[in-house]
Amino acid sequence: MMDVDLAEWYGVSTRALVQAVKRNRDRFPKDFMLELTPHDAEILRSQSVISRSTHGGRRTVPYAFTEQGIAMLSSVLRSQRAIRVNIEIMRAFVRVRRMLRPTATLMRKIGEMERKYDTQFGVVFEAIRELMGPPAGPRRRIGFRG
């Protein structure tokens, strides 16, 4: 999730959120948070069409937080609202995982079916190739001989 969205939910400015993160940098390793590259930020800006600031848009590249990084934000932002919002975000992650679980099972079953039936269809295709090829030898005449 992006820092600007999290700041809005937590009821703080983006600047305050980023400042709190920078003051506690050791709590946010690379797998908890990453700073977008200027190129990524430009793509993001072009997708949102308008800038969020009334002063010509954001001047720094945004941060993106993983689930673990969002959980860590609750220890950095200590307001009651931050705690409540964080709990709801964690619950949302759990709901998403529950929704994805049947999809993962379905994908596994499809993979098993592909492996199983690819060999069977290989036999069918080989039989079709044999039927399409030239006859093996002289054919015996069918019908009345007079």
Report pLDDT digits (tens) over 71-109.
888 788 878 888 888 888 889 889 988 887 777 777 778
**Whole-prediction pTM value?**
0.57
Q: Report pLDDT for 96.
A: 87
The pLDDT mean for the chain works out to 80
Long-range contacts, 57-62 (Cβ 8 Å, 24+) = 58/4, 58/14, 60/18, 61/35, 61/36, 61/37, 62/2, 62/3, 62/4, 62/35, 62/36
The span from the CA of 92 to the CA of 86, in Å, is 10
User: Among candidates 109, 78, 64, which has minimal Cα distance to 10?
Assistant: 78
Q: Report pLDDT for 75.
A: 82
**110 exposure class (CB count in 10 Å sphere: 0-12, 13-18, 19+):** exposed
- pLDDT, average across residues 23-43: 87
Selected residue with higher pLDDT from 113 and 89: 89
